[in-house]
Amino acid sequence: MGSMTRPEPEHPESIGAAARALADATAALTRLIGSQVNHVVPEVSDAVAASLREASRGLADASENVAKRAGSGRAEERRRERVDRTRADLLDAAARVIAAQGYEGASVGDIAAEAGYTKGALYAHFRSKSEVMMALARERLGLALESPELDLPGLTDDGVDEAALAAWLKVAQDDPRLLLQLEFLTYGLRHPEASGELAELHVRSFELAAEQVARVRVVRAAGGLPADAVVPTQEDRDRALAMISVLNVATLEGKLTGSPDMSPAAGARIIARLLAD
């Protein structure tokens, strides 16, 4: 949807001009009454009164316009808040429905019903189910692109907090949107028209993981000194790939099998060992 320009407030010059006219008329009345009251009061009174009336009307009109513009701006702001909230509700519902039913199994009606809206409301924001899917992918996969660090609890420049990482992996296992990442991958593989953008999002996410691994390596080697703008080596990238693979196994296969050897605790332990070498 195209962005709408917020109405600009009434230009202050319109109010300023009316205010100056009123002040000038009042000053003129004061001067003339003080110096020529016996000769020109009737004529001056009429002229100044007319000037005052005109200035007053100008001020009233300008004030009314400002009030209308301000009210219109607030109404537009509220409308945009409702639009943003509806869109967010629909994307949250889409994440749950697509994770549970798969992209192919989910329908527009399912997504709208899950969000508590009609299909018409959904189509007011998205032209198709595929557009919903891509908007969801941009939101979920693009979150990491807005942060300078990989959003992985327990992984810091000082190493790995195994307990924190294992707890985060357990939460991820129980998240009803667990399979959403796989849906993004299968959607990109099955829909060539979307594969380029999805590939770019995944590659950038991987680069962020490699940069985080590189920072851990450099900080440890330097004895805790800050490490900015670290360039990952091939070994850093290999470790990042291994780390991401372990994360996937510890969540997906660990959830399926319940095996302690593929559990969140095992995954956190292996990642700590990967980054300690």
Contact residues for 125 (Cβ-Cβ < 8 A; gap 6+): 1, 83, 86, 87, 90
235/275 Cα distance (integer angstroms): 11
Residue 229 has pLDDT above 60, yes or no: yes
Predicted confidence band at 37 (pLDDT cuts at 50, 70, 90)? very low
Residue 90: burial class (beta carbons within 10 Å; 0-12, 13-18, 19+): buried
Render pLDDT for 104-127 as a digit per residue (tens, 0 to 9): 999 999 999 999 999 999 999 999
Distance in angstroms between the alpha carbons of the first and the last residue of the chain: 49
Predicted confidence band at 219 (pLDDT cuts at 50, 70, 90)? confident
More confident residue, 214 or 6: 214
Instruction: Quote the pLDDT of residue 8.
Output: 45
> In whole angstroms, what separates CA 262 from the centre of its chain?
35
Instruction: Quote the pLDDT of residue 73.
Output: 73
Mean pLDDT of the chain: 79
15/69 Cα distance (integer angstroms): 14
Residue 248 tokens, joined: 């996937």
pTM: 0.65
Render pLDDT for 65-83 as a digit per residue (tens, 0 to 9): 655 565 667 888 888 899 8
Residue 26 tokens, joined: 């009042």
